[in-house]
Amino acid sequence: MSENDHAWFMRRAIAVARRGWGDTHPNPLVGALIVEDGSIVAEGHHARAGEPHAEINALRALGRRPRADAVLYVTLEPCCTHGRTPPCTDAIVDAGLTRVVAGATDPNPAHAGKGFEVLRAGGVEVETGVLAGECADLNLIFSHWIATGRPLFAAKSGVTLDGKVATRTGESKWITGEAARADAHWWRRYFPAIAVGAGTLRADNPRLTARIDGTEWCPWRFVFDGQLRSVLDKSMPGLYTDEFRERTVVVTTPHGGLGYVRKLNALGVRTWVLSSPSPKVDFADFRQRCAAEGITGVLFEGGAQVLSELLQARELDYLFTYQAPVLFADDKGKSILRGLRTESIASAIRLRAVRHEVHGEDSLVRGFLRYPDKLTPDETAFAKPGFHP
């Protein structure tokens, strides 16, 4: 088959992988298909951790032994180790498949390339790196988790062309259009957790759920409130009283007061009281607690204070910025990221492995943050052979 044929089938495998969007953590999204005589005869995706992998589901969907000309397309290098499920490489060889076309290489340094070696040793012809960048982009969270052992901390903002998130009076709804907001819900569905600051909670009273095609899904919802100022006597925020309140976690410090902690717990809201000499939550401690709880990724949606502190602490790994064709041209308009003293271009924070997308009239720029004089762990992970941003 030609390179165009390989790319077409791999794009289909990527689409199949997305059927597991947001459901596979801490495992990766993977799609697989079996092609015979130029036609797709079976498809499979990884649905949830602990369940069969995409390659196994594709073979089961086929329901028979593949033909001699069959090709397996898979978005990620097949596993060659025994975890909660047997190695996919063994199943591929045992099924009689003689050709595999793969996208991304396993991001785990201990496993990278070994699955391909096992397949080749079993007599399977292997072609790698087909749409490797697109395939790796499926697994921003998984790859960061595997390479660093840390949750991926990402931030989302919607800004004007001159970088403002609200007018001088605080008005911010809506800077971006419906298409951009729909895409943001898609990314909410991808992340295991969403976080906001107490100021945003009080001002906007958000639900922090993903609403797609009439279906509402609730991730873990974090509220950063070092002094528990969001705990009100007369009117509690919706996150503390709605039907998803047991998936809400208020992250605070001993400065918040145990009485308020008990009040939240009585409502069914969880609290993480992290030690801190000041009322500000330490993001490194928060990341460590997330890792201990198995939460592999957090999407921070505001407000400006939390996102700026996250950036200043160099604890932000990834950024989504939706930019609308709107100008405020007002020095007193509100900016989302601030507090640094950037005196030269060389000392600026840059994005790497950048993606550009258009949603309606708005544009999305997203990528990993590279801090000056520091290569972030995620860049090290994605700077492997076969990854082409």
Could you give the angle at the alpha carbon of 162 between the alpha carbons of 160 and 167, nearest 5°? 60
Rounded Cα gap, residues 102 and 71, in angstroms = 10
Alpha carbon 355 to its chain centroid, in Å, reads 14
Give 47: exposed, middle or buried? Use CB within 10 Å, 0-12, 13-18, 19+.
middle
**CB contact at 8 A, 159 and 333:** no
| Strand bridging mode 125-127 / 99-104 | parallel
Written in H, E and C, the secondary structure of 207-248 is: CCCEEECCEEECCEEEEECCCCCCCCCCCCCHHHCCCCHHHE
Beta strands in the chain (DSSP E): 31-36, 39-45, 71-76, 99-104, 125-127, 152-159, 164-166, 193-197, 210-212, 215-217, 220-224, 248-252, 270-273, 297-300, 318-323, 334-335, 350-359, 362-370
Rounded Cα gap, residues 23 and 141, in angstroms = 12
Encoded tokens for 41: 């005869």
Task: For residue 150, give the 3-state DSSP assignment.
Answer: coil
Encoded tokens for 270: 């969880």
How far lies 23's CA from each of 160, 219, 254, in Å? 33, 11, 34
Encoded tokens for 322: 């939706």
Rounded Cα gap, residues 204 and 279, in angstroms = 22
Q: 3, 51, 55, 309: which is the annotated catalytic residue?
A: 55
CA-CA-CA-CA torsion sign (116, 119, 121, 123) = negative
Q: Let me know if 117 is a catalytic residue.
A: no
Residue positions annotated with a catalytic role: 55
